[in-house]
């Protein structure tokens, strides 16, 4: 009989029930979408912040501190280098997956035809790598220097044949030396002399505008630096620093075993640095504070902002559902008064009303959940051009939210029903 009454209620009141289900679906979709976005926003913003370039720099252990001071520019004079053949190892560390990009640098002093001294830096532009994991990665400054603008020509593309004999020239240097894209320039290094074609002129808005960028091989040949690398810039997705990370950054040795484990297995910038030092012989990896710190700060703020917006929309959704449930149960006072008059107990009326509302809530909740995933994807695609990954966490949170909110929404209505005197209702007041 109970089932029959509920089925009847649905059939008879399908319009009203649909409205409740619709509102619950709206609320649930709102909660789902916001939760999905909130949980993924950190990753997405992290990707966006890669625009600021590398957040870790790796140099040889005894790299000269006096580089700048002897007025020889950026050329490495300390005589200590990193090994080029170890570069691939960076993608084998524990947090390899978080390393989104990196590029080696090797610089050497060269002479142009007119005798002007220029610093030539060898690097990767869009170096293609097939990783042992089966992944493919195009690493290099094409993405690490996203703020460069090409004023003439185009980016040097390492995939093109003949790219080894190409170079990119900084705008300041190009202006001084009257170099244009497509020109051929002769660079005379310590060990060799090479003729290169200028692929493009870039404007970096900084000191790099005075440099000529060439491929790693070219720079090594020019400077007789076979297999040697000055420094590596690494761009990694990191977790904002907390107290543990700061403590570890000073001295990993000061951590207890469990702290060490937590630290090592969290993508803090300091633990990634530590892991890079483990795989690159005689290297010091340090966080570029300008990027790493600011990144953490902005990520924290963005996350907090999204959490608060999520809370607001969840409260809104919750109150909205509560409200409608209350309103629609109250509407049925007459029918319920009648049930009471014919001898229904409060408990059985409650059970009936609750079951009805809950059935509706489940239907609405499920529909809303999928709609919410849809909304999240719309947001993901239009803002970040990538799908928002759906965390499994969202399912129970939304489920609990919908059930709880519906229950709470029923409380005032049910209290009202319990206080209802059948005579009053039936006399049409």
Partner 1 sequence: MSLLELKNVSKIYGSLHALDHVNLTVEKGEWLAIMGPSGSGKSTMMNIIGALDKATEGEILLDGEDISKKNARALTDIRRDKIGLIFQQFHLVSYLTAVENVMLAQYYHSVPDEKEALEALERVGLSDRAHHYPSQLSGGEQQRVCVARALINYPEIILADEPTGNLDEANEEIVVELFRKLHLEGTTLVVVTHNPEVAEVAQRTVVLRNGRVDREMINENFTGKIKHITLQ
Partner 2 sequence: MKKRKMYIRMIMASLLRRRSRMIIALLAISIGAMILSGLVTIYYDVPRQMGQQFRSYGANMILTSEGDSITQEQVEATKKLIPDDKLVGVAAYRYQTVRINDRPVMAAAADLEQVRKTSPFWLVEGEWPSKEGELMAGKNIARTYNLKAGKRTTCTFAPEAETEAQPGETEEILPDNWADFTVSGILDTGGKEEDYVYMLIPDMEKLTGMPTEYDVCELSVSANSAELSQIAEQIDQQVEGVTARLVKRVTESEDTVLTKLQSLVLLVTIVVLALTMICVATTMTAVVAERRREIGLRKALGASNGSIIAEFMGEGVVLGAFGGLLGAILGFAFAQVVSRNVFNSSIRLMPWLIPVTILASVVVTGIACLIPIRSATQVDPALVLKGE
* Residue 25 Cα distances to 19, 36, 364, 398, angstroms: 10, 16, 4, 11
Burial class, 300, CB count within 10 angstroms (exposed 0-12 / middle 13-18 / buried 19+) = middle
What does each C-alpha distance from 300 to 100, 263, 269 come to in angstroms? 20, 19, 15
Q: Could you tell which of partner 2, partner 1, none binds residue 424, using a CB distance below 5 to 8 A set by kind?
A: partner 1
Placement of tokens 């590029």 in the chain: 103
Which of residues 184 and 421 has its CB atom nearest to partner 1 in the complex?
A: 421
Q: Could you say whether residue 427 binds partner 1 (CB under 8 A)?
A: yes
What spatial distance separates the first Cα and last Cα of the chain, rounded to whole Å?
29
Please select the residue that binds partner 2; options are 126, 271, 328, 360, rule is CB under 8 A.
328
Min dist. Cβ of residue 422 to partner 1 (A) = 15
Q: Which of 125, 205, 207, 129 is nearest to 166 (CA)?
A: 125
Count of residues interacting with partner 1 (CB under 8 A): 4
Q: Give the DSSP letter of residue 383.
A: I
Binding segment (CB under 8 A) for partner 2, from list 110-118, 125-133, 259-267, 286-294: 286-294
Backbone dihedral region for residue 255 (phi beyond 0: left; psi -120 to 50: alpha; all else: beta): beta
Work out whether 341 is an interface residue with partner 2 (CB under 8 A).
no
User: Does the footprint of partner 1 cover residue 61 (CB under 8 A)?
Assistant: no
The DSSP code sequence of 176-235 is HHT--TT-EEEEE-SS-EEEEEEEEEEE-SSGGGG-EEEEHHHHHHHHT-TTEESEEEEE
The partner in contact with residue 427, picked from partner 1, partner 2, none with C-beta cut-offs of 5 to 8 angstroms by kind, is partner 1
Q: How far apart are CA 119 and CA 219, in angstroms?
A: 10
Closest C-alpha among 254, 252, 257 to residue 268: 252
What is the footprint of partner 1 within residues 407-426 (CB under 8 A)? 424
* 265, interface contact from partner 2, partner 1, none, CB < 5-8 Å by kind: none
> Out of partner 2, partner 1, none, which partner does residue 297 contact, by CB within 5 to 8 A per kind?
partner 2
For partner 1, which is the closer residue by CB, 56 or 425? 425
Q: Is 80 in the site for partner 2 (CB under 8 A)?
A: no
State the Cα–Cα distance between residues 170 and 152, nearest whole angstrom. Answer: 11
Q: Is 287 in the site for partner 2 (CB under 8 A)?
A: yes
Residue with smaller CB distance to partner 1, 250 or 427: 427
Question: In a 10 Å sphere around its CB, with 0-12 CB exposed, 13-18 middle and 19+ buried, how is residue 225 labelled?
Answer: buried
Using CB under 8 A as the binding rule, whether residue 82 contacts partner 2 is answered as no
Contact yes or no for 188/110 (Cβ under 8 A): yes
Q: How far is the CB of 81 from partner 2 (least distance, A)?
A: 18
- By the 8 A CB rule, do 379 and 388 touch? yes
Q: What is residue 110's three-state secondary structure? A: strand
| Residue choice 366, 399, 416, 422 for contact with partner 2 (CB under 8 A) | 416
Choose between 278 and 424: whose C-beta lies nearer to partner 1. 424
Site string for partner 2, 115-154 (x = CB under 8 A): -------------------------------xxxx-----
Interface positions, 21-60, toward partner 2 (CB under 8 A): 22-23, 26-27, 29-30, 33-34, 37, 41, 45, 48-49, 51-53, 57
* Residue 29 binds which of partner 1, partner 2, none (CB < 5-8 A, kind-dependent): partner 2
Q: Tokens representing 187?
A: 């660079």
Q: Which entry of partner 2, partner 1, none binds 429, CB below 5 to 8 A by partner kind?
A: partner 1
Look at residue 111 and give the partner it binds from partner 2, partner 1, none, a contact being a CB closer than 5 to 8 Å depending on partner kind. none
Closer to partner 2 at the Cβ: 221 or 295? 295
- In the complex with partner 1, which residue's Cβ is closer, 281 or 423? 423
Segment 204-263, which members bind partner 2 (CB under 8 A)? Answer: 204-206
Residues of this chain that bind partner 1 (CB under 8 A): 424, 427-429
């Amino acid at each position: 009989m109970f089932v029959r009454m509920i089925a009847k209620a649905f059939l008879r009141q399908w319009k009203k029930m649909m409205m409740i289900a619709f509102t619950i679906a709206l609320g649930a979709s709102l909660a789902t979408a916001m939760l999905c976005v909130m949980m993924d926003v950190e990753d997405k913003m992290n990707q966006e912040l890669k625009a600021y370039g590398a957040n870790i720099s790796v140099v040889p252990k005894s790299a000269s501190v006096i580089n700048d001071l002897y007025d020889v520019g950026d050329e490495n004079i300390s005589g200590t280098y990193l090994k080029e053949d170890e570069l691939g190892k960076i993608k084998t560390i524990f947090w390899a997956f978080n390393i989104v990009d990196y590029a080696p640098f090797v610089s050497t002093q060269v002479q142009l035809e007119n005798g002007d001294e220029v610093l030539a830096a060898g690097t990767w532009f869009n170096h293609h790598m097939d990783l042992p994991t089966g992944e493919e990665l195009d690493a290099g400054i094409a993405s690490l220097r996203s703020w460069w603008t090409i004023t003439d020509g185009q980016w040097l593309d390492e995939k093109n044949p003949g790219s080894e004999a190409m170079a990119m020239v900084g705008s300041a240097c190009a202006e001084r030396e009257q170099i244009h894209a497509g020109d051929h320039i002769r660079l005379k290094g310590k060990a060799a002399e090479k003729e290169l074609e200028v692929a493009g002129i870039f404007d970096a808005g900084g000191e790099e505008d005075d440099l000529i960028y060439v491929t790693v091989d070219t720079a090594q040949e020019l400077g007789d630096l076979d297999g040697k690398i000055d420094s590596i810039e690494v761009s990694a997705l990191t977790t904002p620093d907390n107290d543990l990370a700061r403590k570890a950054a000073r001295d990993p040795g000061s951590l207890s075993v469990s702290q060490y484990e937590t630290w090592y297995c969290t993508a803090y910038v300091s633990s990634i640095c530590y892991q890079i030092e483990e795989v690159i012989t005689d290297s010091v990896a340090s966080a570029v504070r300008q990027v790493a710190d600011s990144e953490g700060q902005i990520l924290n703020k963005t996350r907090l902002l999204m959490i608060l917006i999520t809370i607001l929309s969840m409260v809104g959704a919750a109150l909205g559902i509560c409200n409608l449930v209350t309103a629609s149960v109250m509407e049925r006072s007459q029918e319920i008064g009648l049930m009471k008059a014919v001898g229904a107990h409060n408990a059985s009326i409650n059970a009936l009303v609750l079951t009805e509302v809950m059935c509706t809530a489940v239907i609405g909740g499920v529909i809303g959940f999928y709609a919410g995933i849809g909304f999240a994807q719309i947001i993901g695609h239009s803002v970040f051009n990538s799908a928002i990954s759906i965390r499994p966490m969202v399912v129970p949170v939304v489920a609990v939210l919908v059930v709880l909110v519906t229950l709470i929404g029923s409380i005032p209505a049910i209290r009202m029903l319990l206080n209802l005197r059948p005579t009053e209702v039936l006399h049409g007041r």
